[in-house]
A and B are shown apart, each in its own frame.
Chain A
Amino acid sequence: MNIKGNLPLLILHVLSTGPRHGYTILKDIKQGSEGVLGVAEGTLYPILHDLEQRGLIEAFEETVGGRLRRCYRLTGAGRRELARQTDEWKRYSQAVNLLLGSAS
């Protein structure tokens, strides 16, 4: 299932559990959704850079496995945005479930 539109929310959620680099963010999304949610992997990075520019996450460099990696962590603004988007998503999915439930 392509999740590009909701990827920022999922990235913020994954980073709320600790700093990660791009590859592990995607891996956690895939594993956490039991392989249901996926995305063309290259498109993750423009979204990470966008979130960084908007001050929701911040990047830092760390050596992982002998290689210098660009890692990301959530900022205070990112935490507030995550809470807002999570609330929005819950209200949205409840509304859709309500509709689908009443249709069946």
Chain B
Amino acid sequence: MSGAPPDTALDQWLDRATLGVSPRWAASIRAELTAHFEDTTADLLRQGVPSGVARQQALAALGDPQAVARGFKDVHHDRRHYLMAALACVLLLVENFDLPQQFLMPDWADGSAPSRIFYAVDHALAQLLALYVIIVAGRLAAWRLNCDVTTPMKIVLGGLGIGLTGILILDLGLAPSASALTLLDAPDLVEGVGFLLRDAGMLLSGGGLVLLGAWVLLTPSSLAAKSIAAAAALEGIVPIWYVVVLYLSARHPLELYALLVLNTLFLLSALGLAFIRAWDPYRRHHLPAPTT
């Protein structure tokens, strides 16, 4: 070993040890760990260990930064995200059963300007809420499992964005008498583009969710994480199934009913998970579990 490691070695270790930790705590944790590192280094220097070696040994003694990050994230996780995600799930459940329309009972004609604006806003809000729930789910996977879910997350979020563009084109542009359901029977170019974007978005976001679920299932993880991942993968199959059914045959009440059931199950499980993470009922009752 030769020479002192640059300060960046400690900085990099600290970056990894505080990865995903609430910013409210990160600075104080860095200061505490830096002080520990300096104390160890000072002790080693007093024992006659050369400076560079002392710093390397002090850094090695701190251990695996990922294990430290996991510990801190367990203690200092930001419950507000999970409460917000729980609220988003409740709103999506409300939307899932078309409750806004049923309660408001709009008296405008289908295809009228207020009706188009209502559905455009309704669909946009639902897509944005879904986007938020997916972001929290992705954060949870990255946070809890320390696995990189960036690629499937990008696919899901990209798909939701593209799908939303298509939905807005259709909501704001579709003629009142139109009976078109897919790109194949779109009466004009604008609606064709709308259908194309909506369906491509649904396929992408569905595929991304399946990939995200599979990603977590293949990572060494707890049974709870695996069940949620399986639910996400199942939920990803829903939009794919929806598009396939739409293109291969006419829409059928049975398919719509199954979609409703699957969506509801997924949202209820996500709601339960968000509440458990926000409330965290187990932590007060036991010390950290033995790992040896």
Q: Taking beta carbons and an 8 Å cutoff, which residues of A are in contact with B?
A: 2-9, 21-23, 39-43, 45-47, 49-50, 53-54, 67-70, 85
B173 within 8 A of A: no
A75 to B76, CA, bound (A): 21
Contacts A45-B68, A46-B68, A67-B38 given; 19 further ones with Cβ under 8 A?
A5-B290, A9-B287, A21-B35, A22-B35, A22-B36, A23-B35, A23-B39, A23-B40, A41-B36, A42-B17, A43-B68, A45-B29, A45-B36, A46-B72, A50-B74, A50-B75, A67-B35, A68-B31, A70-B31
Q: Which residues of A contact B61 (CB under 8 A)?
A: 40-41
Distance of A26 from chain B, by nearest CB (Å): 8
Docked complex: B222-253 residues within 8 A CB-CB of A: none
| B68 and A70 contacting across the interface, CB-CB below 8 Å | no
| A42 and B39 contacting across the interface, CB-CB below 8 Å | no
| A43 and B71 contacting across the interface, CB-CB below 8 Å | yes
Distance of A104 from chain B, by nearest CB (Å): 24
| B68 and A5 contacting across the interface, CB-CB below 8 Å | no
Distance of A4 from chain B, by nearest CB (Å): 5
Distance of A58 from chain B, by nearest CB (Å): 15
A43 to B64, CA, bound (A): 8
Picked from B35, B63, B283, B290, the residue with its CB within 8 Å of the CB of A42 is: B63
| A50 and B288 contacting across the interface, CB-CB below 8 Å | yes
Q: Which residues of B contact A40 (CB under 8 A)?
A: 61-64, 67-68
> Top 5 closest A-B pairs, CB basis?
A40-B63, A5-B290, A46-B71, A42-B62, A42-B68
Picked from A22, A45, A70, the residue with its CB within 8 Å of the CB of B72 is: A45
Q: Taking beta carbons and an 8 Å cutoff, which residues of B are in contact with A?
A: 17, 25, 28-29, 31-33, 35-36, 38-40, 61-65, 67-68, 70-72, 74-76, 283-284, 287-292
| A45 and B32 contacting across the interface, CB-CB below 8 Å | yes
A93 to B40, CA, bound (A): 32
Q: Which residues of A contact B70 (CB under 8 A)?
A: 46
| B290 and A6 contacting across the interface, CB-CB below 8 Å | yes
Q: Which residues of A contact B290 (CB under 8 A)?
A: 4-6
| B284 and A54 contacting across the interface, CB-CB below 8 Å | yes
A3 to B287, CA, bound (A): 14
Distance of B3 from chain A, by nearest CB (Å): 23
| B291 and A4 contacting across the interface, CB-CB below 8 Å | yes
| B63 and A43 contacting across the interface, CB-CB below 8 Å | yes
| B287 and A42 contacting across the interface, CB-CB below 8 Å | no
| A41 and B75 contacting across the interface, CB-CB below 8 Å | no
Q: Which residues of A contact B291 (CB under 8 A)?
A: 4-5
24 contacts between A and B (CB under 8 A): A2-B292, A8-B287, A8-B288, A22-B35, A23-B40, A39-B63, A40-B62, A40-B64, A40-B67, A41-B40, A41-B63, A42-B62, A45-B36, A46-B68, A46-B75, A49-B75, A50-B71, A50-B74, A50-B288, A53-B283, A67-B35, A70-B31, A70-B32, A70-B35
Picked from B36, B62, B74, B289, the residue with its CB within 8 Å of the CB of A46 is: B74
Distance of A75 from chain B, by nearest CB (Å): 15
Distance of B54 from chain A, by nearest CB (Å): 14
Q: Which residues of B contact A45 (CB under 8 A)?
A: 29, 32-33, 36, 68, 71-72
Q: Which residues of B contact A5 (CB under 8 A)?
A: 288-292
In the complex formed, the residue of B with least CB distance to A5 is: B290
Q: Which residues of A contact B283 (CB under 8 A)?
A: 50, 53-54
In the complex formed, the residue of A with least CB distance to B61 is: A41
In this complex, the member of A6, A21, A42, A50 whose beta carbon has the largest number of chain B beta carbons within 10 angstroms is A42
Q: Which residues of A contact B25 (CB under 8 A)?
A: 49
| B32 and A42 contacting across the interface, CB-CB below 8 Å | no
| B292 and A4 contacting across the interface, CB-CB below 8 Å | yes
Q: Which residues of B contact A54 (CB under 8 A)?
A: 283-284
